[in-house]
Amino acid sequence: MTETTSPGPAVGMVFLVGAGPGDPDLLTLKAERLLKATDVLVYDQLVSPSILALVPATAERIYAGKERGNHTIPQEKINDLLVRLARAGRTVVRLKGGDPYTFGRGGEEVHTLRENGVPFEVVPGITAAVGVAAYAGIPLTHRDHAQACVFVTGHLKDGTMNLDWPGLARKRQTVVIYMGLHGLSHLCEKLREHGLPDDWPAAIVQQGTTPRQRTITATLATLPDLAAAAKLRPPTLIIVGKVVTLHERLAWFVEQVTAGDKEP
C-alpha cells in the first residue's frame, strides 16, 4: 500500500473515461454504463453533446475544457478538483475526448489521485487516430504501404515543433499528428527537409466521425495551402504516408463537403 500524502477519508471514486472521437456509437459499453450512473461529470471540450446527453439530468456537470491558448481550468486545478470531489464521497466520471492516455493528460490526473489515495479506474476510448482513420477510409498500417505507425503531437512551442524529424521522415511508415493544424506548414516543410518527397501523400481530417467530417487529401507540398483555403474547423487530424492514397477507394462515410467552406 502506498502512503497517502495527506490524511482524510477517500471514500469516493474517479473513473477516467475515454469518450472516443465524436460519434457516440464509438463509446465503449463500460463508458456508457458509467455515464448513465454518474453523480458528477467533469468533461472536456472534445466531448460531443450527444454523449453528454447520456448523463442523468440530476448529475452535476463541471466543464474543464481547454481550447488552444484558452485554458478554462488549469491542469493542476482539475487534478485537485477530482481529489476534492472524491474526498467528498462522490462518484466522478472524468470524461475525455478519445482515449484518456493518448495526448490527454490522463496520466497526470491519475498520478495526483494515486498520490492522494483516491481510488480510480481508467476506461480506454477510441483515440482520434484510430477512429478518424477508419471513418476517412485510411487503413493506417496497410501492409502494402506501412510497417509502422507513429502518433505525435504537433503542438507548437515557441513557434516550433521539437520532434524527431529523421525518425518521422521515413518511408513505409504512417505518421499521425494530433494538434497539428496551427503548425501544418512547419510540419510539412520539416518532413520534406528531412527527405520525404514533395509529392508524399498527406491528409487532414476535420471533425472526424461526426456529421461535419471533411477530408482533404494532398501532398506535403500542397496540403498547407489547401487546408488554409478550406477554413477547417477544429479538431483536425493530420495523416502523412502512402496509406493516404487509399482514401480515394476506401472512403465510406458520407462527408459534408461544404462544411468547411462556410464561416461558423
d(CA 230, CA 224): 10
Find the binder of ligand SAH among 10, 16, 41, 102 (CB under 6 A): 102
* Ranges within 194-223 binding ligand SAH (CB under 6 A): 205, 207-209
Find the binder of ligand SAH among 27, 35, 51, 132 (CB under 6 A): 132
d(CA 171, CA 199): 13
Applying CB under 6 A, does 95 fall inside the site for ligand SAH? Answer: no
Applying CB under 6 A, does 98 fall inside the site for ligand SAH? Answer: yes
* Ranges within 236-255 binding ligand SAH (CB under 6 A): 236-237
Shortest distance (Å) from residue 122 CB to ligand SAH: 12
d(CA 230, CA 150): 26
Contacts of 3 (CB under 8 A, 6+ apart): none
d(CA 141, CA 153): 19
- Burial string for 17-36 (b: 16+ CB within 10 Å, else e) reads bbbbbbbbebbbeebeebbe
Could you tell me which of 45, 97, 52, 101 has the C-alpha nearest to residue 73? 45
Could you tell me which of 154, 150, 152, 112 has the C-alpha nearest to residue 16? 112
Helix (H, G, I), strand (E, B) or coil at 137: coil
Applying CB under 6 A, does 79 fall inside the site for ligand SAH? Answer: no
Pairing between β-strand 148-153 and β-strand 173-178 as defined by DSSP bridges:
parallel
Per-residue interface string for the shown chain with ligand SAH, residues 31-70, x marking contact by CB under 6 A: ---------------x------------------------
Applying CB under 6 A, does 103 fall inside the site for ligand SAH? Answer: yes
Q: For ligand SAH, which residue has the nearest CB?
A: 98
Could you give the residue numbers annotated as active site? 44, 66
Shortest distance (Å) from residue 148 CB to ligand SAH: 19
CA atoms within 13 A on the CB side of 180: 30
Applying CB under 6 A, does 179 fall inside the site for ligand SAH? Answer: yes
Segment interacting with ligand SAH (CB under 6 A) among 26-34, 73-81, 195-203, 235-243: 235-243
Shortest distance (Å) from residue 38 CB to ligand SAH: 19
Binding-site ranges for ligand SAH (CB under 6 A): 21-22, 46, 96-99, 102-104, 127-128, 132, 178-179, 205, 207-209, 235-237
